[in-house]
Structure 1
Amino acid sequence: MFEAAEIGHKLSKEEFNARLTPLREQLITTQYQLRSAKFPVIILIAGVDRVGAHELITFMTGVFDSRYLQVSGFGPPTQEEAERPEYWRYWRALPPAGRMGVMLGAWTMAAVVDRLDRRIGKGEFAARMQHVRHFERSLCAEGALLLKFWLHLSPAEFKKQARRGGKHGLWKPIWMKASAVRAYQQRGMRVIEQALEQSSAEDVPWQLIESTDSHYRNLTVVETIQDEIRRRLDAPSPVPAGPSVNERATDAHTILDTVDLTQALEKEKYEKALDRAQARLNDLSAKAFRKGVSAVFVFEGWDAGGKGGCIRRVTAALDATVYRVVSIAAPTEEERAHHYLWRFWRHMPRDGHFLIFDRSWYGRVLVERVEGFATRSQWQRAYGEINEFESQISESRTALVKFWLHIDPDTQLARFKEREKTPFKQFKITEEDYRNREKWHDYEIAVNEMIARTSTRHAPWTIVPARDKYFARVHVLQTICKALEKKLS
């Protein structure tokens, strides 16, 4: 694999300067045109030439306008990063549409280093590579231009660089890492080959760059970036897709038709059951905090389904310093400039803390699907992206619990009327709420497919019969307690 990056590519200073002079103007022009584009450019710099990588990035900040070039470096996770799912730190660093982001190291390199240092075995390494493929495929599907460069050195050149790097205290702690030395042992080269092969795809290949000569390395990378961005900017704009047509099932029945909405609790029994469930949750949350176990609770359901009431009963049992409630509405301008999952990833809680979503990422396959805000290909693709997202949450020390609060149309209408009569609830009801009732069946179909395709072993859905608010609240609390007990065990 590496033979093509060990043939001795070199550029003289004269040739380097001759090619760089016209290139500078092209780079700035392209970068400014990119600012109005609807896609981000993500540039991965990885490989064993750590000194060369830093030199390359320094060169890039000199030839591009650094105001619009976002640079992120990834080494061992910080304490804050280690307390969250692995990809949290990568999602936070993604550039918005119209900007360039350079990432040094990042996800593939992290897996390689962990494998070389024997922190993970073959099975976990393969799983990490699968996460890499899913992540990169999702970024590209949402429009990102992803460019990946692997800086390679021959074994002989590596030894020279190591001796030269060792003379400079700034580089020595990084450069002399045991994993860097092991990379040139037989096992190390095999691991790197596996990583590059398994994380390459036709649309996101690794580009091997011979890094011995700095002039050749720097100019080759920057010229490639210029060519790829120019190619994307000059490509004809895709024809905008029409509104997403909601599919109607031949069988009118859905999983929601099987929900027993007659389940109820009398007030006296409810109050006793509520006290017991909240005391149990309070005790479990304290244990979770001590053990560093976090939790994410997702609340979806019909308008007026009782999400707010359930959330208040949950938070009443928790220490206010360890939880956060995030209410999801239409995305902001900043959020629209990123991948749709970006605004959810950045909220992920640290160890021992709880996060509660009032609405969530499921908007992509519900309201965006039904109202035509997402194309058919976007919401169809979202099921797999969501399953991957949730699997990464669950693989960390996080309990993920998802609720759909189900009521019938008559109950919803009665609650709408009640809200209109109650001064402190009137803000909850709008004309849009009534308009959405006209699409009840369309939403039923969307909910049915959502549950069928995203209720997994690691993140199952709990459908809550919510016609009776007392029953729903206790059921939610009991389900959360069971999930926490399972995670703590």
Structure 2
Amino acid sequence: MSVFMFQSASLPVDLSRADFDALEPALRTELLAAQRKVIETKPFSVVIVVAGIDGAGKNKAIARLHEWLDVRYVTCNAYDAETDVERERPDMWRYWRDLPALGEMSVVVCSWYNAPMRDFVLGRIDEAEFELALTRIGRFEDLLAQENVLVLKFWFSLDPKVQKERLKGLGKKARARHILAEWTDIGRAEQARAVFERAALVTSTPAAPWIVIPSEDPHAPDPAAGRCVEMALSRRPETVEALAAPPAAAPPAAAPPAAVLPAVATGVAAGVGRRSAVEAIDLASRISKNRYRAELDHWQGELAHLVTKKKFRKMSLVVAFEGNDAAGKGGAIRRMTHPLDPRRYRVHRIAAPGEEARARPYLWRFWRRLPQLGHAAVFDRSWYGRVLVERVEGFCSQDDWMRAYNEINEFEAEMHDAGTLVVKFWLAISKQEQLARFKERQETPYKQFKITDDDWRNRLKWDDYARAAGDMIDRTSTSYAPWHLVPAEDKRFARVEVLRTLVERLKAAL
């Protein structure tokens, strides 16, 4: 098995209590010093997954880490059965919600491995479902590593005979009963060990190594875990070489699904050229005022009817609006939300990330806003900022925004798999129409708040944004979350088109 079995010349093979007492001061000092440097410089955050055989000393090692570290920057997240709030969102939602900020640390008990491993041992899922779960976990951990999260995973192993004796003694102590919750209640520790070995072969990677700590010696696990954490904090660039043997190859990341929208070809003087989907939008669509009122009433009534159906309570809705500045996203959102129950939807206006969001992986703030079943979340701008404004303005590296296409597709796939209908709109206007709307906003007192210096600066990069939007649509329009391109030169037409499209998607989903 390609995981690291902890051994260190600094730790005796048979560690007595006296040996432990002699080692503790130096180890504690070095571990705290390494943590303080991370706290002060904030180069990354740390997630420590603790798992293993019951009775192997997991809880004791966690308590020791809390004793040795500055606990003001350490959180222990233990996940029991999902609450109603958690059950009504994608599987990874609660783990995303609790990710630590840069410079901080999270110790995770009953992690994202627990449910798939336990379900496989109990026969609740088959081989294919188990492998799929491991693949998703591998992608999640790889994404965290790319976003400056150091992931360390400890498996505390224990000989079955030693476990039996240890649990017998622990079971007599009321204060120790809480450690018997992970595997002993199903009586299948051997199966758990075998399943872990399979999981580790797939998910022990340079970015997130599994570290196996033998726990037959009751005094060994605490300093072993402490030393591994200290090594990782002190030498993060060399963490792979320091902690992991050559791992099994990680499952390849899925390629972005093929775009639903076809490339649009157009004749040019020198032959045949290719336009992006954004450039190919026909902006000539119009609607009369009388027809607009009738269509608006009709589609708002249809939408109100659909979201009150019992079937809608078993799903959720996420609507993302992107488009040119001044394309009418706000007006379309107001008409869309007008027939909805305000208690069952939220509109999220997405601006530049604040300090709290910048200290965590890019998708964190969007994961936290996902709605529960029977509810809707509307995003005025969205997670596509990374491949639009951040790309064009140079706020992230090329590697970051190129990687983001696949990460976004996986994010939307997880929403879809959890019963969320994802509807995405791009509202398009011409450069000339945008200029007219900018001037109108400047000249109308109650609209002046809508125009900023950033809007004018962005206009200077119109072609760059058009190119980025075309790439975005080509790479992220999927069967489960296609882009809907809406001509918005006529605001009335755009509002009706948004409502009509949303109703049709909801009808198909229901």
Do both share a fold (TM > 0.5)? yes
Aligned to 1:255, what secondary structure does the other structure show? coil
Q: 1:170-223 CA deviation, whole Å, 9 max, x = no partner?
A: 66576266776454345x444222211111113322111112333211110110
Hey, what's the Cα distance between the residues in 2 that align with 1:270 and 1:164?
Answer: 76
Tell whether 2:301 aligns with 1:294: no
Hey, what's the Cα distance between the residues in 1 that align with 2:182 and 2:353?
Answer: 43
Q: Which residue does the alignment assign to 1:199?
A: 203
Hey, what's the Cα distance between the residues in 2 that align with 1:485 and 1:43?
Answer: 44
The equivalences for 1:34-433 within 5 A come to 34-35=38-39, 36-49=41-54, 52-169=57-174, 172=177, 175=180, 181=186, 183-186=188-191, 188-232=192-236, 253-287=275-309, 291-433=313-455
Amino acid in the other structure paired with 1:262: A
Aligned to 2:423, what secondary structure does the other structure show? strand
Q: Which residue does the alignment assign to 2:30?
A: 26
Q: Is the CA contact (8 Å cut-off) linking 1:364 and 1:374 kept in structure 2?
A: yes
Hey, what's the Cα distance between the residues in 2 that align with 1:482 and 1:345?
Answer: 26
Amino acid in the other structure paired with 1:70: T
Hey, what's the Cα distance between the residues in 2 that align with 1:88 and 1:100?
Answer: 18
Q: Is the CA contact (8 Å cut-off) linking 1:48 and 1:183 kept in structure 2?
A: no
Q: 1:147 to 1:409 in 2, by over 3 A?
A: same
Question: Structure 2: 5+ residue runs without aligned partners?
Answer: 240-271
Q: Is the CA contact (8 Å cut-off) linking 1:299 and 1:404 kept in structure 2?
A: yes
Q: Following TM superposition, by how much is the alpha carbon of 1:410 offset from its aligned partner in structure 2, in angstroms?
A: 0.9
Q: Following TM superposition, by how much is the alpha carbon of 1:292 offset from its aligned partner in structure 2, in angstroms?
A: 2.7
Q: 1:162 to 1:308 in 2, by over 3 A?
A: same
Aligned to 1:351, what secondary structure does the other structure show? coil
Q: 1:21-45 CA deviation, whole Å, 9 max, x = no partner?
A: 1111112222111112221111111
Q: 1:201 to 1:183 in 2, by over 3 A?
A: farther
The equivalences for 1:427-446 within 5 A come to 427-446=449-468
Q: 1:368-393 CA deviation, whole Å, 9 max, x = no partner?
A: 00000011111111111111111111
Measured on the aligned residues, the alpha-carbon RMSD in Å equals: 2.4
Q: Is the CA contact (8 Å cut-off) linking 2:56 and 2:157 kept in structure 1?
A: no
Amino acid in the other structure paired with 1:19: L
Between 366-375 and 290-299, the greater mean CA deviation after superposition: 290-299
Q: 1:70 to 1:275 in 2, by over 3 A?
A: same
Q: Is the CA contact (8 Å cut-off) linking 1:292 and 1:352 kept in structure 2?
A: yes
Q: 1:136-170 CA deviation, whole Å, 9 max, x = no partner?
A: 11111112211111111222233224433433456
Q: 1:266 to 1:2 in 2, by over 3 A?
A: closer
Amino acid in the other structure paired with 2:418: S
Q: Following TM superposition, by how much is the alpha carbon of 1:482 offset from its aligned partner in structure 2, in angstroms?
A: 2.1
Amino acid in the other structure paired with 2:342: A
Hey, what's the Cα distance between the residues in 1 that align with 2:232 and 2:487?
Answer: 53
Amino acid in the other structure paired with 1:215: H
Q: 1:88-133 CA deviation, whole Å, 9 max, x = no partner?
A: 1001111100111111121122221122233322222222111111
Q: Which residue does the alignment assign to 1:458?
A: 480
Q: Is the CA contact (8 Å cut-off) linking 1:116 and 1:182 kept in structure 2?
A: no
Between 107-116 and 443-452, the greater mean CA deviation after superposition: 107-116
Q: 1:62 to 1:313 in 2, by over 3 A?
A: same
Hey, what's the Cα distance between the residues in 1 that align with 2:307 and 2:219?
Answer: 57
Q: 1:8-29 CA deviation, whole Å, 9 max, x = no partner?
A: 9541111111111111111222
Amino acid in the other structure paired with 1:149: F
Aligned residues: 473
Q: Is the CA contact (8 Å cut-off) linking 1:288 and 1:294 kept in structure 2?
A: no
Q: Following TM superposition, by how much is the alpha carbon of 1:4 offset from its aligned partner in structure 2, in angstroms?
A: 9.1
Q: Following TM superposition, by how much is the alpha carbon of 1:256 offset from its aligned partner in structure 2, in angstroms?
A: 1.5
Aligned to 2:219, what secondary structure does the other structure show? helix
Tell whether 2:17 aligns with 1:13: yes
Between 5-14 and 387-396, the greater mean CA deviation after superposition: 5-14
Q: Following TM superposition, by how much is the alpha carbon of 1:485 offset from its aligned partner in structure 2, in angstroms?
A: 2.2
Q: Is the CA contact (8 Å cut-off) linking 1:465 and 1:472 kept in structure 2?
A: yes
Amino acid in the other structure paired with 2:112: W
Amino acid in the other structure paired with 1:220: A
Between 303-312 and 174-183, the greater mean CA deviation after superposition: 174-183
Amino acid in the other structure paired with 1:412: Q
Q: Is the CA contact (8 Å cut-off) linking 1:162 and 1:176 kept in structure 2?
A: no
State percent identity of aligned pairs: 42
Q: Following TM superposition, by how much is the alpha carbon of 1:49 offset from its aligned partner in structure 2, in angstroms?
A: 2.5
Aligned to 1:214, what secondary structure does the other structure show? coil
Question: Structure 1: 5+ residue runs without aligned partners?
Answer: 236-249
Q: Is the CA contact (8 Å cut-off) linking 2:6 and 2:224 kept in structure 1?
A: no
Q: Is the CA contact (8 Å cut-off) linking 2:200 and 2:210 kept in structure 1?
A: yes
Amino acid in the other structure paired with 2:224: T
Aligned to 1:265, what secondary structure does the other structure show? coil
